[in-house]
Amino acid sequence: MTLQSARSLARVGAAARADFPYFAAHPDTAYLDSGATSQRPASVIDAEAAFARSDYAAVHRGSSMATGEATAAFEDARERVAAFVGAGEREIAWQAGATDALNTIALGMSDASLGLGDERFALREGDEILVTEAEHHANLIPWQRLARRTGAVLRHVPVNDAGMWTIDDLRAQVGPRTRVVAFAHVSNVTGQIAPVADVAAAAHAVGAYTVLDACQSVPHLPVDLAALGVDFAAFSSHKMLGPTGIGALYGRAELLDALPPARTGGSMITTVTMEDAQFLPSPHRLEAGTQPVSQAVGFGAAVDYLSRVGMDAVAAHEAEMAALLVDAAASVPGVRVVGPAAGEPRAALVSVIVDGVHAHDVGQFLDDRGVTVRTGHHCAQPLHRRLGVAATTRASASVYTTADDVERFKAALGEVRAFFGADR
C-alpha cells in the first residue's frame, strides 16, 4: 500500500471532524487554535466518562478489587502512552502537565545541588545551563530559578530576525561547563523543528543532560524519544486530543530512578521514619499524592486515536496544512510571517504580524468571522521582544483541520487592515 493510499483510508481533515463533538456543536467555526488546546474525539471523552462511571477508585492503595481494576486501567494507559513515544513503561511519570514535568526536572536538580539526592544532577557555581531564545516560559523560568539557586550561569542561543536558531549557533555555546541543554522540539511561535539528535550529540559530548519540550511535536509528528537520544522530555495530554490536568515526564529509567523527587508525600515512598524517607523506583517516586486517574485513562484513549489514524498520516496531513497556512498568510499584503520561509520544513502553525494592527485586534476580528486563533506572546516574551513586537497572531492545525479552514483564515486576514484603516 502506498503512502497516498494509506492516507486516503486515514481519518484526517474533513473525515476526522465527525469524530469530534465540538464540530457538531460549532459547525461554522474554523478552529485554528490546536497549538494551545486541541479538541477531543468522542472516543476520548467516552473512555474517561466510562471509567468515572463504572471503574473509578484509588490506585496503588489497598487490596480491594475496585483498587485493582482502577490500577490496571491507570497503568495500562501509561504503557500505551509510553509505547507511543518509544519509551518503556518505567520511563513515563504522570505529571500535572508539561510545565509541571519541566519543573520536576529542574527542582530535582536543585535538590541534588543541595545534597538531597544523586550527585550526578548537582550544579555548582560556574556550571552552565543552555536554552534558546525561542523557549516557552515553561522551559525557561525553571532554569532561571535553578541557576539562581546554584550559582550556575544561564546562557541562551540567539535567534535571527525570523525567530529561528541554528545548530551551529548552539554548538558554539556548548562547552566543558555545560550541564543542561533545554530546548523545544518545535517552537510554539515559529513552527521551527529542531535537529534534536544533533543537539543531543553536542550536549552528550561534554557530559550535559538534554531536556526536550515535546509539547508541539508529539501530537503532530512520529516521535521516538529513545531514538532521538534525549535524557528527559515533557509533553501534555491536552495538546494531543486528550484531557487537561495531566502530562508526561519522560526520562531514561536509570535517570528517573536517581532524580530527587520534586514533591513528596504519600504513594511514592518505601520507608518513612521520623528522621528520613526512602523513595520508590521510577515512575512512582515522581508521583506523590492522589493521581489523575480518569485523566490518565483519557490520555491513553487519545494516543489510541492517534495510533489508529497513524502518525505518518497525521504528519503528512499537517505538512499540507502547514504549507497552506504559510501560503495563505504570505499572500496577504501587509502581513509578515515569522519562522521558516515558504517551502522550508515547519510544523503546522503560522504566527503573523499585521502591519498597523495589534495582534489582539486581529484575533478579535478573525473570531468575529468564525476563525478561532491565538493572540499574544504565546508564553514566549523574549522571542517576541527579539522580533520587535509585543504579540503575534497564531493559527495552528491538527488532524481535523481542513483546507476550507485555511481559506477562511486567509479571507478574514485579508480584510483586517482595511477594517482598521491600516491600509491607507
Q: Which residue among the candidates 167, 201, 319, 379 is catalytic per the annotation?
A: 379
Q: In the 8-state DSSP scheme, what is residue 405?
A: H
Handedness of CA 302, 103, 195, 253 (dihedral sign): negative
Q: Contacts from 358-365 at CB under 8 Å and sequence distance 24+?
A: 358/390, 358/391, 359/389, 359/390, 359/391, 359/392, 359/393, 360/391, 361/416, 361/420, 362/393, 362/413, 362/416, 363/393, 365/412, 365/415, 365/416, 365/419, 365/420
d(CA 403, CA 347): 16
Cβ neighbours, 10 Å, residue 248: 29
CA 354 to chain centre: 27
Based on the residue annotation, tell me whether 215 is a catalytic residue of this protein: no
Handedness of CA 145, 148, 150, 154 (dihedral sign): positive
Nearest to 208 by CA among 142, 297, 120: 120
Query: Which amino acid is it at 368?
Result: D
DSSP β-ladder status, 371-372 and 30-31: parallel
Query: What residues contact residue 356 under an 8 Å CB cut-off, 6+ apart?
Result: 334, 417, 420, 422, 423
Instruction: Give the residue ranges of DSSP H helices in 167-292.
Output: 167-173, 196-204, 225-228, 253-258
Cell digits of residue 264: 513528596
Burial class (CB in 10 A: 0-12, 13-18, 19+), 3: exposed
Q: Tell me which residues are annotated as active site.
A: 379
